Amino acid sequence: MNLCIDQGNSRTKVALMTDEGKMIKHFIYKSFSSADVERLFDLYDITDSIISSVVNIEAAVVNTLHRRSQHFVLFDHNTPVPIANAYDTPETLGQDRLAAAVGAKSLCPDENLLIIDAGSAITYDFVSEKGEYIGGNIAPGLKMRFTILARMTKKLPIVETEENELIPLFGKNTRDAIAAGVVRGVAYEVKGYMRTLREKMPHFRTFLTGGNAPYILNNVRTSKTEERDIRYEKNLVLIGLNEILRFNKTASLKVERPLRSK
């Protein structure tokens, strides 16, 4: 099995997957250490691993993964990926964004793709039907918007929303007014990107992922067209990491395979 690790700003998501992309196990850690790596390798039949992080990775975690794996990938901007990267500054592109793009492309290989990752920040990335990562945008996430709204005013409270909460069009109290303003604002933002792309190209798919995706999903899907066009994929980054690991293992085997004598 492959061990895929996505280390984010607030939590670490871990998956055990096959080369074919089947997810066997899935874990979420508030903190992740080399002891956790050792435990996973002791409990499961793991052969290869990959880690991606938007924060600094502990050297002990990297060393343990390298020692316990037959093939290990520390995913950064130098790592080969199965799509073309047209970003002007690839060294500044978040690995989670690129991994999500690879994951979406592996699921819909022949389509134009809008990938929306609703985490601490909300990212909007576009991959062409030819398999080229064109670029993307970064916006404040839901929690960030709620927090800043409270901090930058004197009387507004910090609001938290429920995952499956249907947000009203207009709030009838301050709490609902803030919830509607933030969640519906993001929903309209998502729809705006989709509408703009639809005007430019007749065919594209939208992937929605990230920890806050469920908070906005029901408020985006308001028609049969949007229901069909939006695909919620909870583990899109992990799917992409697994695909990147498989791609690098295949490339390594090709390099290591001895040439046959003529």
DSSP conformation class of 91: G
What are the b/e assignments for 172-193, b being 16+ CB within 10 Å?
eeeebebbbbbbbebbebbbeb
Helices 59-68 and 34-43 cross at an angle (nearest 10°) of 20
Residues 239, 166, 182, 226, CA torsion sign? positive
The amino acid occupying position 37 is V
Q: Exposed/middle/buried for 62, CB within 10 Å: 0-12, 13-18, 19+?
A: middle
Catalytic annotation present for 96: yes
183's CB contacts (< 8 A; 6+ apart) are: 142, 161, 167, 215, 216, 219
Instruction: Tell me if residue 111 falls in helix, strand or coil.
Output: coil
Active-site residue, selected from the candidate residues 96, 110, 117, 125: 96
Please answer whether residues 109 and 87 qualify as being in contact, where contact means their C-beta atoms are separated by less than 8 angstroms: no
* The pair of three-digit structure tokens given for residue 162, joined into one six-digit string: 């429920």
Instruction: Tell me if residue 68 falls in helix, strand or coil.
Output: helix
Q: How many CB atoms lie within 10 A of CB 13?
A: 21
Alpha-carbon distance 239 to 237, whole Å?
5
- Give the residue numbers marked as catalytic: 96
